[in-house]
Structure 1
Amino acid sequence: MTATFNHTIIAARDRHESARFLKELLELAEAPSWGPFANLLLSGGVLLQFAEPPVEEIQMQHYAFLVDDELFDRAYARLCEQGVEHWADPQMRRPGETNEGHGGRGVYFKDPAGHAMELITRPYL
């Protein structure tokens, strides 16, 4: 069997708020939740599990999602409608913009827990 990515746990101040934010933004399916997790399912069976860690400060992580052009348009409109601060670059020097890197479009923003999120329409490789 080859290795495939199965799941990750994303630290959140409020697991339900963080899961709901990404679910609505990316039109994701809910998955059954259990224990300390609020779960979302990506295509390919990848599970995102949101949980509150037993620490006061959450270390920022980066999560990038490959989406098609139509979902990018809808998600970007939602970011703008909700007043979510966003940038064209990971250094956050181009606020309120998207980029056209790698032959597609991209945008960076933070989720409710402060993680750096990225939407791209073309893979880097």
Structure 2
Amino acid sequence: MAVELNHIIVSAKDAKASATFLADILGLEVGDKWGPFYPLVVSNGVTLDYIDTTADIQAQHCAFLVTDEEFDASFERIKAAGIPYWADPHKETPNEINHLFGGRGVYFDDPDGHVMEIITAPYA
């Protein structure tokens, strides 16, 4: 059997708002609430299951491989919303994108401090 990532639980102070934030950037829709989760399914079937928490949140990093057209649309949404962005995960290069591995990439934070990344070429 091939091993595939099926889902990841993403803690948030407001799960619905955080799921909606990322869905809006990526041009996706949040699924119906399932138990305590607000699911966001990406095209390869992996689900980000957002859950409310009152505990301190440990920031996670999620990278999304997108087409050039999806990158352009998502990046425009980031800029239009006034969301800070960086070319690197350490936030040393603000207001720029990177061009690693012949593609383009950008990092931005979600409302809970999770570091999100969109890339057009895999880093492997």
Structure 2 spans left out of the alignment, 5+ residues: none
Residues 1-125 of structure 1 mapped to structure 2, 5 A cutoff: 1-55=1-55, 57-125=56-124
Percent identity over paired residues = 48
CA deviations 1:40-80 (Å, max 9, x no partner) are 1111221110001241x101111100000001001111111
- TM-score, reference length from structure 2: 0.95
Q: Gapped runs of 5+ residues in structure 1?
A: none
Deviations 1:6-33 (A, max 9, x none): 0010011100111101111111243332
Residues matched between the structures, number: 124
- Superposition RMSD in Å: 1.1
TM-score after normalising by structure 1? 0.94
- Asked if the contact 2:97–2:104 (Cα under 8 Å) also holds between the matched residues in 1, the reply is yes
